[in-house]
Structure 1
Amino acid sequence: MSKHVVLYKKLSPALMQRLQAHADVTLIEDVKSDEGMARLRDALPHADGLLGASLKLDAELLDRAVKLKAVSSVSVGVDNYDIDDLTRRGILLTNTPDVLTQTTADTGFALIMATARRVVELASMVRDGRWTQNIGPEHFGTDVHGKTLGIVGMGRIGEAVAQRGHFGFGMPVLYHSHSPKPDVEARFDAQYRSLEDLLHESDFVCLTVPLTAQTERLIGAEQLALMRPQAILINIARGKVVDEQALITALQNRQIRAAGLDVFDREPIQTDSPLLQLDNVVATPHMGSATDETREAMARCAVDNMISALSGDKPKDLVNPSAWHPH
């Protein structure tokens, strides 16, 4: 009897063909619409696998999925899933952790450069016809090369950001993570710091931690107050890692120099958000992995994980290994 996969992310023709060679596939292109959600609910009782991204699977949906064996998320973050609940139900959860590392680090460094040199603000000045004379100190930015780069969360993406800063821009690297990482220190001449010391000493603070109960609102008013007035905050982690209202206040009061944000408390960000009115904010639409090459690689990885799970093999990128039992 063939397996049935509910797909809520459009795949390239080649990947769709590959998935269909291993399972019957129901594609729901707009799962967040009322019609799409209704189709999902109807399909869940027959689903052996779910493949997609940006869908919060709550207990009510999972209760309908009585045959579900695996969820293959086209993402590195898994904060949309109750991993303990999936494990109790014996449902495998996979993600795509490796293929977006370099692209997301590129995005982080793009935000570092854009905020430091006020690229968006000054480009808008030119486009709007307001560049009528040589710019003066009121439009000057700040250097990136040689400045201290603080990274909160030294996982794959944190290491890739450190590589760019250390080798490309001669930046001293500080980092904070669960524990010191001697290999990282050796590769990038990096130094471990407590979160408080890192915030106090860094010119650029780049957040790359996953969203967990421990990291939610990790950066609030107290932490922002520790940063230097000329420091810049970069968030390529998750919006809820930062207390957004505290950040708005800090930026409005010029308590810190600027922020480069690819993630927000609510996405898409509300059009009346004060963040969008501030000239010391560079805001991008959660585009960290948004390149043709990387998104295709993520989808390919997710398809491979699903095929392995449905075939009874242990997927390469299994988030909850205790849910897997070899047959």
Structure 2
Amino acid sequence: MGKNVLRNLKLTENNHNVMIYQNLWKQWSSCGKIIFRKSKSLQQSHFISQATGMGRFKVYVTHPNVPQSAIQLLQESCDVTVWQQECPVKRAELMTQIKGKDALFCLLTDKIDKDVLDSAGPDLKVIGTMSVGYDHIDVHEVKKRGIKIGYTPDVLTDAVADLTVALLLATSRRLFESHNEILKGQWGPWSPLWMCGPALKGSTIGMVGYGRIGRATARRLVAFGVGRTHYWGRSDHGDPDNIGAKFCPELTNLLAESDFVVVTCALTTDTHEMFDEKAFAVMKPSAVFINTSRGGVVKQDALIKALETKQIWAAGLDVTTPEPLSPDHPLLSLRNCVVIPHIGSATTQARTEMAMLTARNILAALNGEPLPAEIK
């Protein structure tokens, strides 16, 4: 019984054909899920069966720690193979396991390029990435082969925006540094200027990237009484949230005027290592630099130098290059740098929604339907 067991079978809504359908249901209900679709005409219906065994779609999932609700959704109509080690799938293993699969459920840690696609062969129909970023996928190569790509915008926006504000506060108010002082026994008598940092009230916020996450972050910062918000990006969005945000066409001007530089842009060929020696040189010595986008937008050696020489006041990073960092990495030894391990979307709700959307993207593509969130 193959994938096309009942494909294109048309049954008109009369007693005779209903009886035929009932017989077919008895025959095949134990070996597949029958999906009923009404045609535009009320006089006919289409029944499509996806049988088990050789006929079921095959999906490979590259991490075992995916919310089970998404795996269970896929298992209803697909044979699902899951990488079982608590680490990103080894490249050689990925290239072996993807052979003959109809769909790939991947993460941002999985590099999907020509070699992987060649290993997959002609059966691969869709790649669902459980991320909003997709710089780990060779989109051109994928599209050239007619393979669809699903991703997860929107569902993680609030979680990342919340984390961005939290990271900004942890950096500017020196929360990690203060905690470490307690652990080292350095909590002495109250002192007027001990552990002081810059305030948000009345400050100038420079958003680099003003998409969903950038806008959500800017909205949250309004509650802290910031003085001005301006942003730089590919285009002038105006002030869609009525918070007084203004487009700044020159990145250099934004960097020079901002007290807090908050990076939420996508990693592209244009933004790769855009924060280099020149960018940090024009920032204020009191500036706080926050990055929750991708580590690749920063030339990391330049950032380390800017922090060591006090060219900027501090940095808060949720993303780095590489990931993870080794414990002896220079960034981790700097008192004026807060590093957290890429947890921007790490709420239970957001990760579950991301996984479910990835599963729905995969199932939609396999069923020949529009993807809920597709990279065009």
Task: Name the TM-score class by shorter chain.
Answer: over 0.9
Shift of 1:179: 1.4
Matched, 1:26 2:85: no
2:311 & 2:91 partners in 1: Cα distance? 44
1:104-138: CA deviations, max 9, x gaps? 01111111111111111011112332112113425
2:225 & 2:302 partners in 1: Cα distance? 30
Query: What is the aligned length?
Result: 318
Shift of 1:87: 0.3
2:117 & 2:187 partners in 1: Cα distance? 56
1:112 & 1:171 partners in 2: Cα distance? 16
Match of 1:230 among 276, 286, 297: 286
Match of 2:134 among 64, 68, 78: 78
Shift of 1:52: 2.1
Match of 2:112 in 1: 57
1:261-320: CA deviations, max 9, x gaps? 010010001222211111000110011011111111110111111111111111011102
Shift of 1:29: 2.7
Match of 2:207 in 1: 151
2:375 & 2:212 partners in 1: Cα distance? 16
1:15 & 1:276 partners in 2: Cα distance? 36
Matched, 1:317 2:373: yes
The one-letter amino acid of 1:152's match is V
Residues 165, 171 of structure 1: 8 Å contact kept: no
Larger radius of gyration: 2
Q: Which protein has the bigger helix share?
A: 1
Secondary structure of 1:108's aligned partner: helix
Match of 2:242 among 187, 209, 214: 187
Shift of 1:187: 1.6
2:345 & 2:300 partners in 1: Cα distance? 22
- Structure-2-length-normalised TM-score: 0.81
Secondary structure of 2:261's aligned partner: strand
Match of 1:277 among 318, 333, 339: 333
Residues 63, 87 of structure 2: 8 Å contact kept: no
2:212 & 2:149 partners in 1: Cα distance? 20
2:312 & 2:365 partners in 1: Cα distance? 47
Compared with structure 1, are the counterparts of its residues 8 and 105 closer, same or farther at alpha carbon in structure 2 (3 Å cutoff)? same
Residues 70, 91 of structure 1: 8 Å contact kept: yes
The one-letter amino acid of 1:199's match is L
1:113 & 1:197 partners in 2: Cα distance? 24
- Segment of structure 1 superposing worse, 37-46 or 278-287: 37-46
Match of 2:226 in 1: 170
Residues 59, 80 of structure 2: 8 Å contact kept: yes
1:10-68: CA deviations, max 9, x gaps? 3333322211112111111339678x545433332210000020200121111011110
Secondary structure of 1:188's aligned partner: coil
2:116 & 2:184 partners in 1: Cα distance? 49
Matched, 1:9 2:63: yes
1:252 & 1:27 partners in 2: Cα distance? 44
1:220-254: CA deviations, max 9, x gaps? 10010110010100000111101100010000000
- Segment of structure 1 superposing worse, 21-30 or 113-122: 21-30
Please give the residue correspondences for 1:70-219 in structure 2 after superposition, counting only pairs within 5 Å: 70-184=126-240, 187-193=242-248, 194-219=250-275
Compared with structure 1, are the counterparts of its residues 12 and 32 closer, same or farther at alpha carbon in structure 2 (3 Å cutoff)? closer
1:176-204: CA deviations, max 9, x gaps? 011111243x6221111110110011000
Secondary structure of 2:99's aligned partner: helix
1:18 & 1:78 partners in 2: Cα distance? 23
The one-letter amino acid of 1:45's match is K
The one-letter amino acid of 1:190's match is A
Uncovered stretches (5+) of structure 1, i.e. residues with no partner: 321-327
1:249 & 1:170 partners in 2: Cα distance? 29
Compared with structure 1, are the counterparts of its residues 31 and 48 closer, same or farther at alpha carbon in structure 2 (3 Å cutoff)? farther
Match of 1:324 in 2: none
Residues 153, 209 of structure 1: 8 Å contact kept: yes
1:107 & 1:190 partners in 2: Cα distance? 21
Secondary structure of 1:46's aligned partner: coil
Secondary structure of 2:98's aligned partner: helix
1:104 & 1:137 partners in 2: Cα distance? 32
Uncovered stretches (5+) of structure 2, i.e. residues with no partner: 1-54
